[in-house]
Structure 1
Amino acid sequence: MRLLSNVVPLHEEAFVFDAMLQGWRNQQLSRGLNRQGIDTRIGLIRRFTLFCERSPWQWTATDLEDFTVHLTSRGKPLARSTVRSYHGVVRAFCAYLTDGRYEWMMECEARFGSAPQQICHDWNTTVHLLEYEGRAQRRALTFEELEAFFSCADQRVDLIVATGKKGGLAALRDAQIFKTVYAFGLRRAEVLGLDTADLRPNPAAPRFESFGAVQVRWGKGSRGSGPKRRTVLTVPEFDWAIEGLQQWVEQGRSRFATTKPTSDGRALWPTERGTRVSDRYLAQRFAEIRDEAGLPPELSLHCLRHTYITNLIEWGYSEKFVQDQVGHLYASTTAIYTSVGDDYKNRVIAQALSRIYGSSHATS
C-alpha cells in the first residue's frame, strides 16, 4: 500500500493489478506454498483477466460462468477436477482482494470507484462430491497386461543392443524405473527424486541386502507442508524387481557420465548428460511402450501405482500396511485406488462361507 501511494504510474490499472498479484504471491510464499504452484495460479489469474477484458475490481459472477463455459465447450473439454481447481484459484484470489487486512477494496474504491468482490459462490462453482474424479477408464493393470508391458520394455533393450544403435543403456534404465514404480507403488516425482542413498537395508529382511526398503523423500505434500517422507518396505512378491534394481545400481548406472560439471552424482536415474530423468520424458516413454505392447491408451504411468495397491490387497496384506506403504493419509484414499479381481473376491467369499457354515459347506 505504501508503494502504491508513493508512485504515480503511467498505466494505473496495470500497475495496481501487478501490485495485487505481487501481494498475493507474497501471501502464498508466506504460507510455504510451492513456487511452481504459485506461478501456475498467477498465470491462471492473468489468463482469466485477459478473457474477461476487465480488471479484478470490475469482475462479476457472470465473468466466471462465461469462462467456465468457454473451458468446457472446446473440442477437448477440461476434466471436472481441473475446472474445480480453476474455480478454487479464482476464489482464493478474490478472497485475498476482499480481505480487509489487505485494504485492496478501499484502495480500488478510491482510485477507480469500484471495489473487488467475491465472484465465486456455491451456485456457480464445481463442487467436490466424489472421492475419485479421475477418468473412469483408469484402472489397475491385469497380470497379463503387466507381463506384456514389462516384456516389451525389456525387448526394447535387446533390440537396440542387437542393432548396435545408441540408447541401450537408457532403455535399460527406463525399464527398471517402471519396475521400481510398480514394485514400490511410487508416484513419478517420488521415483525420479530417488538417490542411491535412498536404497536402504531392512533388518527384518536381510535377504534383500541393501534393497530392503526405499526412503521416499519427495512424497506428495498438502497445504504447503512440503514433501512428505515415508519408508516403503520391499515385499517378497517383488523380489524379481529387486534383482534388476541391484543390477542397475552395481553395473548399469556407473556407465553414465555422472562426473560432468552439471551432473548430480547422487541421482539413481541419471541421463547421458548427467542430469535427472524428467517427468515429461518418463510419461512419454511409458506411453510409447504401452502402445507397442498393444495396451489400452487410457492406461497411464500412475496406473502402475494403482496396480501395486490392488495387488497388495489381493495378496492378503492389511489395509493399514498398504496405506503406510503408499503414503495415504486416509484409508478411504487407498480404497478408491483398489480394484481387486474376481479371484480375490471369490476367495474372500469362500473364506466367509467356511467360517460361518464350516469347510464342508464352503462350496455347496
Structure 2
Amino acid sequence: MPNVVALDPAAAMFDAMLEGWARQQRSRCLGLKTIRERLGLVRRFAAYCGTWPWQWTPEDVEAYFASAVSGDRPLAHSTVRGQQGDLQVFCAFVADARYGWASACLEEFGEVPVQVCHPWNTAAHVAAYEGRPGRRALTYDELQALFDAADDRTEEVRASGRKGTLTAWRDALLIKTVYAYGLRRREAAMLDLSDLRHNPRAADYGRFGALEVRFGKASRGSPPKRRTVLTVPDMDWIVPLLAAWVDDARPQLEPGAHPALWVTERCGRISLRRLDEVFASLRERAGLPEVLELHALRHSYVTHLVEFGYPERFVQEQVGHRWGSTTALYTWVSDEFRNRLLEDSLARRARPPGERAAPDRDNPAGRPRGER
C-alpha cells in the first residue's frame, strides 16, 4: 500500500533485493539448493560487514575473505572463488539499472549499490584443477583392499546371525557398482531397475550390458543430463553380482513396486548420506587415507580405463564429461603404467624391423576383481 511506511526501511529494502534475486535465479531454472546457498552467503556477508549492499566497499570483500582463508578451518581455494563469484553476481544484479534498485536506494538512502568484487581483490582461476591435492584415484591394491573390506564385513554380519546381511551385501555391491561404471553419488542412488539395459554388442551380459544414467550432473539450470554407460569387459565381474542382487537378494527386502535398484530395509531408496557413510566405514576398515572420498572411485574408473587402453573419447562419453580436459583432470595414471609404456617403447626400438611382440593377456596391471 502506498501510504504504508516500513518500520525498518533498510532491512525491508535488503529483503526485497534478495527476493528479487531469488526470483531471477528461479526464472533461470537454477536449483533451489544453489539459490539457498547464494542467499545465505549474501546474508552472512552483510552480517559480517554490518552494513547494507548500497554501503558495501571493496575493502569489505577483502576483509571478509581474508578471514575466511585463515584460522583453523580455512576455506578451499575453489570455495572462495565460487563464493566471490556469487557475491559478484548479486552486486551486478542490484547495480543493474534495469532492475531499479540503484534509483530506489538513491531516493531512499542517498547511496547506490556498486560492484565490489573486482579482479584485483578476488581469487584468480589460474589452475585447471582446484581440488584438494590429496584427492586422487585409488591404486589397484587400495581398490582391492576396499572390496575385500566390504566382503569381510558382509561375511561377519552373516556369521554373527544378526539382522542386516542383505543390507551389508547391498552396501558392498553398491560401492563396487560405483567403481565399475564410474558413477557420481546421486547417479548411483537414483538408479532404477528400468535403467538396466541390454547391449546387443555384448549379449552375454544380458540385461546388464549397460546402465541408463538419468540423473547426471546438471549445469547452469539445465535438467539432469542423461547418458548410457556401457559395461566394459575389464569390469564384467560386476554382471553376476548385479544379477544375484536383482534376482535373489533384492526381492528378500520385499520392496513391492518400488522402482529403485538400491532399496533399504524399509522399502525406500537409499540416501546420498548413506553412500558416504558406507564408503567412510569401509575406507576405515581397509586402512585407507581419510582424504579419499566416494568420488575417488570415479577418478579410479577414469584412470583405470585409460590404463586399460580405452580411447580418451570413449572414456569421456562413459563418464559424461562435456570436455576432454575435465576427463584429463580425473586421470591419475600410475608409475607402473607409465613404466610399462616406457618399457614397451624401448622394446619396440630394440626389436628388429618386422618382428611383432606377443600380446600379454595375463592381467599385468593386477586389475582388481569385485568378486572372490
- TM-score of the superposition, structure 2-length normalised? 0.91
Deviations 1:184-232 (A, max 9, x none): 0011011111111011010000000000000111111211112111100
Question: Is 1:299–2:296 an aligned residue pair?
Answer: no
Counterpart in 2 of 1:269? 262
The equivalent residue for 1:35 is: 32
Secondary structure, aligned partner of 2:211: strand
1:172 aligns with 2:165: no
Aligned pair partner of 1:344 in 327, 334, 337: 337
Structure 2: 5+ residue runs without aligned partners? 358-372
| Stretches of structure 1 lacking an aligned partner (at least 5 in a row) | none
Paired with 2:288 and 2:303, the residues of 1 have a C-alpha distance of 19
User: Secondary structure at 2:237's aligned position in 1?
Assistant: helix
- State how far apart, in whole Å, the 1-side matches of 2:164 and 2:62 are: 50
Rounded Cα–Cα distance in structure 1 between residues aligned with 2:90 and 2:162 = 52
1:14–1:143 Cα change, 3 Å: same
Residue of structure 2 in register with 1:87 after alignment = 84
Shift of 1:359: 4.9
Partner residue of 1:283? 276
Matched ranges for 1:1-364 at <5 A: 7-259=4-256, 265-354=258-347, 358-359=351-352
Q: Distance in 1 between matches of 2:114 and 2:127?
A: 29
CA distance in 1, matches of 2:202, 2:223: 31
Percent identity of paired positions between Structure 1 and Structure 2: 50
Q: Which residue of 1 aligns with 2:360?
A: none
SS at match of 2:191: coil
Deviations 1:88-129 (A, max 9, x none): 110010010011110100001111111111110001111111
In structure 1, give the amino acid aligned to 2:55.
Q
Q: What is the rounded CA distance, in whole Å, between the counterparts of 1:87 and 1:362 in structure 2?
A: 57
Instruction: Give the residue type in structure 2 aligned to 1:285.
Output: V
- Contact 1:353 1:362 (8 Å CA) reproduced: no
- How far the C-alpha of 1:51 sits from its partner, in A, is 1.0
Question: 1:140 & 1:326 partners in 2: Cα distance?
Answer: 15
TM-score, normalised with respect to structure 1? 0.93
Within 1, Cα distance between the matches of 2:163 and 2:79? 40
Aligned length: 356
- Output the amino acid matched with 1:27: Q
Alpha-carbon deviation of 1:353? 3.9
What is the CA deviation profile of residues 70-101 of structure 1, one whole-angstrom value per residue up to 9, with x for unaligned ones? Answer: 21112111111011111011001001001111
CA RMSD across the alignment: 1.9
**d(CA) in 2 for partners of 1:181 and 1:290?**
15
| C-alpha spacing 1:350/1:64, structure 2 compared with 1 (3 Å) | same
Q: Structure 1 residue 350: deviation in Å?
A: 3.7
> In the TM superposition, what whole-angstrom CA distance separates every residue of 1:131-171 from its partner, at most 9, and x where no partner exists?
11111111111111111111111111111121122222211
**For residues 116 and 312 of structure 1, do their structure 2 counterparts lie closer, same or farther at Cα, with a shift above 3 Å needed?**
same
Give the secondary-structure state (helix, strand or coil) at the position aligned to 2:201.
coil
CA distance in 1, matches of 2:289, 2:333: 19
